[in-house]
Chain A
C-alpha cells in the first residue's frame, strides 16, 4: 500500500503506516465493504464541548468519546500537542473543525462517521484550505468528482498531474479542481484502498472519476493457522476468498461459488442430491491409502475429518483461506496432508446497527449427457442381440441355426432365455406407430426450484460487538425424490470484559431435512436410486397408467418369459418409498483472551462440533423389486442414527512485538481434541401391512451398532520474523499424539520453515517502472495424514454366528492383524513462489511450484490370502505430487466508463508412485469398464485396458490374428500389444488418468455505472474417464437398454456395417465378456470447458434509496453451468472422484448425478 502512494511522488500526504493506521485502514475497509448506514451522519453531527488549554489530542479523544465520530490521521500530519481552548454549544462538527484547524498544517475531510485529518496541501503559510498556489504557467483548469464504485464521494482523494508535483485533494463531497499545465495532461487519481487510476484530460473541463476498491493489494489480512498475517508477508501458498466474492451473488451451493476461483484447488460436483457434498481436492491426490479430505477449521475449531462445508451458510462467512503448501499447513500437523481450509465467520464491525436481508430464488435443471434409444430402436437392438446370442451360443455347441428360428425351435436347440426374442416387441419391430415410448431420463430428471432467505443483524458497540443471523433455504434436487430444507443460524459475540480480558463466542447451527435418492441409507434395492435406475428401464413400458396411478410391475411381468431386465418402475419405486434424512449440526467455540503484558497474549479456546444424523427408509408393499414380482416383494424399513461429538480444548500464548525494524511474532500452544462417534442401524422386517411406515411397523428387527473414539494431543509453536518488511522468515513445529496409531508410534513431529524476500522494497529496485512489486518465497514443511479407522492399529475380533438346532451361536475369530508400528503418512513438501505486481499493481501475477513426497503411505496391501487375511494396513507406499500454478489478476482498467478486471489461473499436477508393498510392482484394481493400474514409476490409478482395433467382421480375420477363445464376428478385435501371438492380460495398456494434465479458469468483471457483470469459465484438460453408465448401455449385452451413441456406432453386418463398437450379442461368455467391457472404446475423454458463472448485478444509488429508508439495494441475476463443451458421453465426468471409495479406482464414474445448470435472481437489502 505504501507503494501505491509513493509512486505518485505526491507532495501531498504520504501515509506512513503505524499500527494504529493499519487498524484504522482495516476498519475503513470493513466499513466500506459493509453497507454504509447513515451517510450524512458526519456532516450533521453537532458537538458540545467546553475545554480549556488542552492538547489537540485530548480534543480528538473527547470528540470521539462523546460522538460516534472517529478520527483517522497520521501523527506527523497533526500537531497533537498544540494546546487550545474550545467552547462549542451544539455546533456543527464541520464548523468546529474549521475553527480548530484553521491556519495549521492540517485540514480535514468528513466521510460518514470518519474524520480524516490530513496534511494541508502545499501548506506554507496561512492559505485557504483546499485551494492551490497558482503556478507560473497555468493554462487549464479541470474539475470533477471522485466517487467510489457505488457512486459515493471519496473525500481526500489525491489528484496529481502526472509527471509533475502539481496536485490537489478532493473535498468532502469528492469534488476537486485542479489547474493543469496542458489540456492533454494525464491525471493520476489515488485513494487509500482503491486502485490508482490514470485519466487523459483530453481538453475536457469536467472529468468525473470512479475508483474501484483494490481488494487484492492493500494490507489485506489473510487468516492463517492460529493467527492472521498481512498478505504481503505470506510466505507459503495460501489461497484466499473474501466476503466480497462470496456474497455479491448467490449460487446453489457453496462449492459452486468457489469452483474455479483458486488455482490448485479442484472442486467437483459429483453428487446426486442436495445432501451430497462436492469433493474438494487440493493439489492432487493427497493419499491413496488414507483419506483424501482436507481439514476444515471453522473459527479455530478443526472439524471432524469427514466434514464438508455444506452445513454452513455462505452468507455467514467472512473469509476462506486455503493452506495449500506443507509449510503453511504444518501447524496443523498430522491432519494437514490434504491441505487445510480455514473459515472465519462474520463479526459485528459497524457502529450502527446493520440489518441486512438477502433473498434469492432460482431454477435448476440437468440431465445426463447420454441418451437412451427410443422404443423402436430399442426393439431392433434387443432383437439383434438376442438373435446373435442364439446363433453364436448354438454355434459354440457345434449346432448351426438360423436367426429366424421360432421360439419352439430355439428351445429345442437348448437356447437360454436371453436367446429368445422379446415377444412383446413384435409390434415395435413391425413399425406400428403410437406405441408406448417412454424416455426414462425425462421421467427421472426434472426442473427444480431453489429459495433462499437470510437475515442478519450486526453491530459493534462500545465494548461488545455481535453478529447474528438466520437463514432458511429450500432446494429441490434435479432428480425425482430429492429435496432439502435447511435452517441455519449464526451468533458471534465478542466483548472486552476488562482492559485485558476479551471474551468471544461463536455459535453456528444448522438443521436440514429432506429426501434423498436411495443411496444414503445403504439399501441395495436396485434400482432404488433413479440416477442409477433409468438405464435399466425399457422404453416399452409406461411410468403411469391411464388413470394416473403408477404402472407397477409391467416390465417385470413382461420380461419374465425371456428374462429381460426384471426391474420395477424406478419412478414408482422412488415416489412410493420413503427415504428421508435429518441432519443437525452445531459448531461452537468460546475463547478467552488475556493480555498478560504488553505484546503477550494468552488465549484459551473450547470448541465443539456436534452432529446428529437420522436416516429413514421404508419400502411399502405392492411394488416389485429387482427380479421380484410385486406380489412377492417384502415390506422393509430401516432407521439409521449417527451421533458424533467433537471436543476441542486449546491454549496458546502469543508474543508479538517490533523493535527497530524487527517484527517478531511467536506463538506456542497446546491442543487436545477428541471425537466420539456412535451409530445405530435398525432394520425391521416381517411387516403385516403398510400402516406404519417406519421400523415400528415390523415384527422382527436386527440392530447393529458401532461406537468409536479418537483423541489427539498436540503441542505446537511458530515464530514469524521479518526485518524491515523486506526479509521474512518463519518456522513452525507441531507434535501430535494420536490414539489411532500403534503403541510404538503414537507421536509424530511436523516441522516447517519458510523464507521470503520483498525485492521491490529494496532501495536498488527501480521505482516507477512497470513492475512495482516483487516477492520471492520458498518454503519447506512436513505434514501428516492420519485418516484411517480409529482402531486400525489393533487386532479386532470379528463376530460370525452359526446356528445349531435353530438357535444362534456366537462365533469369534480374528478379523484384523494388529500393527503396533502403524503410523501417519508423512508428506514432505517444497514450495517456491514468485509474486509480481505491474502497473501499480493493476496486474498481479502469482506463480508457484511445489513438489511433495509422501512416505509411509497407509496402504491396505493385498496379502496372500492363505494368511487368512485379504489385506493388511501398512505404512509402506511412497509417491510424489508436483505441480505448477499461476494466478493472474488484473483490475482497474478502463474503457470509457466501463472499468474492467480480469482473472485467470492455471495449474498442473502430476503424481508418480515411488514405492508399493514388498516385491510389489503394481496394484491392479478393477472397476466397471476398466482396470486401474497403480504402478511404480507411473501415476496413481491409471486406466488400464485392452486396445481395440475395431470389430471382427469375418471369420478369416479372427483366424488370422491372435484372439480370445470363443471370439465370434462382431466382437472386439483386441490388439496383441506385446506381440506374443496371444491375447492375455499382459496386452492391457495404460490410457491416461482421471487426474488431468492441467486445469484452468478465466473470467472477467466489468462495471458500468451501477451495473456490474462478470463471468468465469473453467476447464480441465487431459483427463480420462471410465463411465459405468456409458459401458452399461454401450456394451451391447442387451440386458439394460442401449444408448443412442452405442446404437449409432454398433456393428451389425446389415443394419450398420460401418459400426466400430461390438455387435449386440446376449451370448457373452466370460472369456470374451470381461474383455468386451474393459477395452479402450469404453474409456472416454473427460475434458471440459464450462461456463461456471455468468452474473449481472445492479446497485441502486444510496442517495436514491434514502427516501425509502434503505441504505443499499442490489438486484442480480446469476447463471451457473450455463454450458459445457465436452466430448464425454455419460452422466457427469466430474463424478470420477466420488463414484468409488478407493482412490485406486479414481476415474470410475458411477452413482453420480448430472451437471446442474441453475438460473437465479436475487436481491440484497441493507437497512
Chain B
C-alpha cells in the first residue's frame, strides 16, 4: 500500500499542476483583432473611429453605388438598359414596382445606421478623451455631427419616418419596439446637429477629405430648402457662398485629376488600386452600357430626353457624358474609369458642389422674391460657364422653371434629380407625363422586409 500512496500522490500532484495552469487558458483574447472593451481610450483611437464614419459612407451600399443610383434611377433622367439585371433591383425603382425585399433598399437602410452608430460612438466617447489640441477635437465633433445629419437627411428623404438613434448602442435588444420617429423630429435633430457642427467646425479641414464649416452650412441650407424654410436657407447659403468658386472650365470639375477643387464643398473620397482594390467605387461599372466593359450592367444611363435638353452649344454635354466605342448609348463622364479594374473606380463622389449651392440660393431668392435679380444672376453664372446665353426668364414661375431645368442639366446623374422632384412636389406630375405609373405611395421607399421581420412593431409605408 505504500506504493499505492506514493503513486497516487504523484498523480494528484500532476493533476493539480495542470489544472491550475490550464484554467488561465480559459481567458483568450484575439491576437489579430482588437477588443472594443479597451478601445476608444485615446486621441489616436478616436481619430480612427472618426475615419470609420467616412469609410462607412464610402461603402458601395451608400455613396459607392446605391445612393448615386437612388437619387437618379426613379427620376426622369435615366433608364435601365437591361431591366432584368441584378434581380430587377434597379429597374423596379425605375418602374415604381419596388418590393419590400429590394436589395438596394435593404442595403441603404442597414449601412446608413452603421454610419450613424459610428458617429454616435464618437460623439459618446470623445468627451472623455483628451486631445492635444481642442480645435481638432471640436472639429471631430463637428464632423461626426455633420455626417450623422447627412445620413439622416438621406434616410428621411428615402424612407420618410425612420427610427432616430443618437446614442451609442450598448444593448442591441433595447431597440425592439422603438418604432419610427416622425420626420419632423428627425429633421429637428438634423438641424440641431448641423447648427452645432457649424459652431465648432473650421473653415478648412485638416485635410481635403474633412467636413468643413462651409459644408455644414451648405447642407443645412439644403435641409432648410427641402423644408421650404427659405429665409433660413438663405442665411446658411449666404454665409458660405463666397468661400467657394466655380471652376471656369466645366471639363475640369470632375475627373480624378481635378479632385477637391475650389468647387467641391464635400466629397466622399475614392481611390483606385489601394487596399486590394477596395477603396474605389464600382458605380461607373454599374452605370456603363451593358457588355462594353468588364462587368458593365447598363444601369442608370441618361435617357434621350435628358440628352436632348442640352443645347447644342452646351459645353456640359461633352463634359458630362461620354460614348463607348462599342455602344450607341451615352453614360456619365462625371466618374473616371479605371481601365485595369472597372470595379475600382477612383473618382470621388461629390456630395456638395458649389454650383448646386449657387442654384439652390437662386431658387431660395426666387421663392423669397419672385424674379429676384440675385436669382437671375446666380442662374446666369452657371449658364455662362456652360457656354450658354443669359436666361430669358423673368417671372417667379419662369425663373422657377428655368432654375429647375438648370439644376437638372448641371447636376445630371449626381444623385440629385429624384430628390429635387420630391422636394418640389413635382415627382408624380413629371413622371406621369413621361408614361410612368406612379402614385403617392411610390414617393417613399418601403421599410426593408428583413427589418419588419426582425421587429414586427415597425410600421410599413403605405402601399407596400
Contact = CB atoms under 8 A, between A and B. Distances in A.
B88 A1069 contact: yes
A653 B294 contact: no
28 contacts: A416-B83, A417-B290, A417-B298, A563-B82, A594-B7, A651-B15, A670-B18, A672-B19, A686-B340, A707-B31, A713-B26, A800-B52, A801-B51, A806-B271, A811-B52, A812-B45, A817-B169, A865-B113, A867-B117, A919-B456, A919-B457, A921-B456, A985-B100, A1066-B84, A1070-B95, A1070-B99, A1073-B87, A1074-B101
Contact of A602 (B7, B276, B277): B7
A700 B11 CA distance: 56
Interface string A993-1021: 00000000000000000000000000000
Interface in B132-179: 162-163, 165, 169-178
Interface string A857-869: 0000111111111
Interface in A571-611: 594, 596-597, 600, 602, 604
A1066 B91 CA distance: 13
Contacts of B212: none
Interface in A373-418: 393, 396-398, 414, 416-418
A923 B453 contact: yes
B37 interface: yes
Nearest to B346: A806
Interface stretch (A233-241, A484-492, A511-519, A625-633): A625-633
A436 interface: no
Interface stretch (A99-107, A427-435, A466-474, A789-797): A789-797
Contact of A803 (B26, B113, B271, B435): B271
Contacts of B58: 802-803
B7 A813 contact: no
B270 interface: yes
Interface string A952-992: 00000000000001100000000000000000010000000
Interface in A1085-1110: none
Given A863-B175, A867-B174, A670 B19 contact: yes
A965 B97 contact: yes
Contacts of A414: 79
Given A804-B269, A817-B170, A865-B451, A566 B291 contact: yes
A112 B26 CA distance: 55
A1056 interface: no
Contacts of A1037: 84
Query: Top 9 nearest A-B pairs by Cβ distance?
Result: A868-B117, A702-B276, A1070-B92, A811-B52, A795-B36, A711-B25, A811-B51, A628-B294, A862-B454
Nearest to A685: B277
Contacts of B50: 811
> Which of A561, A649, A737, A794 has the largest count of B CB atoms less than 10 A from its CB?
A794
B102 interface: yes
Interface residues of B, number: 115
Nearest to A737: B26
B109 interface: yes
B242 interface: no
B30 interface: yes
Contact of B29 (A686, A794, A817): A794
Contacts of B1: 597
B82 A418 contact: yes
Interface in B62-109: 79-85, 87-89, 91-92, 95, 97-102, 109
Given A602-B11, A868-B113, A627 B295 contact: yes
Given A739-B26, A797-B36, A802-B269, A653 B11 contact: yes
Nearest to A674: B25
A232 interface: no
A1009 to B, nearest CB: 56
A632 B92 contact: no
Contact of B15 (A628, A670, A710, A811): A670
Contact of A813 (B80, B82, B118): B118
Contacts of B82: 416-418, 563
B105 to A, nearest CB: 11
B349 to A, nearest CB: 12
A818 B113 contact: no
B278 interface: yes
Contact of A791 (B11, B33, B45): B33
B289 to A, nearest CB: 9
B209 interface: yes
Interface of B: 1, 3-4, 7-8, 11, 14-15, 18-19, 22-23, 25-37, 39, 45, 48-56, 58-59, 79-85, 87-89, 91-92, 95, 97-102, 109-110, 113-114, 116-118, 120-121, 162-163, 165, 169-178, 207-209, 260, 269-271, 273-279, 290-291, 293-298, 326, 340-341, 435, 437, 449-451, 453-458
Contacts of B113: 865-868
A189 to B, nearest CB: 50
Contacts, number: 318
A863 B269 contact: no
A813 B26 contact: no
Given A683-B276, A863-B172, A746 B26 contact: yes
Nearest to B89: A1070
A920 B455 CA distance: 8
B207 A804 contact: yes
Q: Name A's interface SS.
A: mixed
Interface residues of A, number: 110
A895 interface: no
Given A418-B82, A966-B97, 16 more contacts: A418-B84, A560-B326, A683-B276, A702-B277, A800-B52, A804-B207, A806-B271, A811-B49, A812-B39, A813-B117, A864-B175, A866-B165, A872-B172, A920-B454, A1070-B92, A1071-B97
A636 B332 CA distance: 29
Nearest to B11: A602
Interface of A: 393, 396-398, 414, 416-418, 559-561, 563, 566, 594, 596-597, 600, 602, 604, 625-629, 632-634, 649, 651, 653, 670, 672, 674, 683, 685-686, 700, 702, 705-713, 737-739, 743, 746, 790-791, 794-798, 800-806, 808-818, 861-870, 872, 874, 918-924, 926, 965-966, 985, 1037, 1039, 1066-1071, 1073-1074
Contacts of A861: 173, 454
A766 to B, nearest CB: 48
Contacts of A1069: 83, 88, 91-92, 95, 97
B163 to A, nearest CB: 4
Contact of A801 (B84, B175, B278): B278
B30 A713 contact: no
A382 to B, nearest CB: 13
A1133 to B, nearest CB: 26
Nearest to A804: B209
A696 B347 CA distance: 30
A794 B34 CA distance: 10
Contacts of A707: 30-32
Given A627-B296, A672-B25, A869-B172, A813 B19 contact: no
B178 A866 contact: yes
Contacts of A811: 48-56
A560 B1 CA distance: 90
Contacts of B298: 417, 563
A739 B25 contact: yes
A713 B454 CA distance: 37
B453 A924 contact: yes
A566 B290 CA distance: 10
Nearest to A556: B291
A808 B435 contact: no
A794 B92 CA distance: 41
